[in-house]
Every structure is written in structure tokens, then in C-alpha cells.
Amino acid sequence: MADTLDLRELETRPTKRWNEDGLPELVMGVLWIIWGGSFLIGGALPHGPVWNAYWAVAPALLALSGMAAVWATKRLKARLTFPRTGYVRWKAPTRAQRFGAAAVALVASATIAALVVKSRTAGLEGVAAPGLGVILSLGFVVASLTQRAPHLLALAGVSIVLGLALGTLNAGWTAMNWMLVGLGAAATVIGAARFRMFLARHPAETHP
């Protein structure tokens, strides 16, 4: 029995260690703030040459920012985390996990598309923010279980609260962009707090 428990602990250790320092949440939060802010800026611009130029460039920049976030996370871990805890290689997802993630993404995208059509045809834009809040909350719950990261349940709660609160403003799709900013701020705060605790638990080695 003890051997079985040890094997399970060894199997889940890379995932636990990868999420231990809070850097993934910190970088993800900054990225969401950038995305939400970019959509808000684009939505506030008057239609015209500036609007056309902005939206011609913005999608590519947002895609690059997503790749830059992955690069930044790995670089920060190599510089700040691995010297304290040792190198940790992220365990590649299994085929079942990849199919599961694809299914969740498909259902989420279909639900969002349905919300878009419903809100525009029936004038129910107030449903957009609460609907997105529920979808993101479910995503955080799934991630907390698959990644052994119970702190993500806090973000699941924030998603629900933000969705309900922003839904009362009747701000339509602008509310969804503010949700990204709000979730980004929450993830940044949680990530920064976890990173601070990680540094306190794992001080850097000093060499005489």
C-alpha cells in the first residue's frame, strides 16, 4: 500500500511542482488583462481608418502575446523556480486528456456562439457575461482537478461573481471584456501571493 501511494505521489509530483510557485497564474492574469484591455480599447474606437488599422493588427499581436506568455513562464521558472526546487518537466497530457480538453473547448465555443446569436436576435446581451462566467468557472473546476491545483477553485468563484455582477449592468459584450480584465486582476493577485509564499518557503541558496 505504501509503495502504491509513493508511486502516485511520484506520478503527480511534476504537476504539483509546476503549479507550486504561482507563476502560471501570475503570467496568465497579466495576459488576460492585456487581452481584455485590448478589446475594450478596440470597442471604444470610432469606426474609421484608425478602427480598421487597429483590428487589422490587434489579432496578430494578441496571438503573439499568448505565445510570449508561455515563453515568459518558462523563462521565469528557469530563473527563479528551478534554482530553488530543481528542474521540473511538465508532463505531457495523455491522449484521453487531450480529447477531453478538445471536447470542453468545443462545448465552450458552441455555447459562446449560441450566446452571441441569442443575444443579438433576442436582445439578451445581458446573458453574455453570466454565461461566460459559468463556462469559465467550469473550466477552472476541471483544471483544478486535472492539474491538482485547488487554488484554481478561487478563480472559479470569481468567474461566477463577476459574471453575475457584470450581467446586471446590461453592458453587453463590453461586460465580457471587463470580465477578462477582472479575472486577470484576480489571477495576478493570486499568482503574486502564491509566488511570494513560494519564495518564503524556498529561499535562494547563498554561497560563501
* pLDDT digit string, tens, across residues 64-94: 888 888 889 889 988 888 888 776 665 555 6
- Sorting pLDDT into bands at 50, 70 and 90, what band is 119? low
Query: What are 37-72's pLDDT values in tens digits?
Result: 988 888 888 888 888 888 888 888 888 888 888 889
pLDDT, averaged across the chain: 76
Residue 133's alpha-carbon distances to 27, 148, 162, 208, in angstroms, are 20, 22, 7, 52
170 pLDDT higher than 50: yes
- Report the pLDDT value the prediction gives residue 124, as an integer from 0 to 100: 56
- Report the pLDDT value the prediction gives residue 4, as an integer from 0 to 100: 46
Mean of the pLDDT values across residues 179-203?
A: 91
Dmax (CA) of the chain: 70
Q: Which of 159, 152, 154 is closest to 137 using CA atoms?
A: 159
- The pTM for the full model equals 0.74
How many helices, marked H, and strands, marked E, lie in the chain?
A: 8, 0
Q: Which of 203, 148, 200, 156 is closest to 19 using CA atoms?
A: 148
**The three three-digit cell numbers of residue 172, written as one number:** 453587453
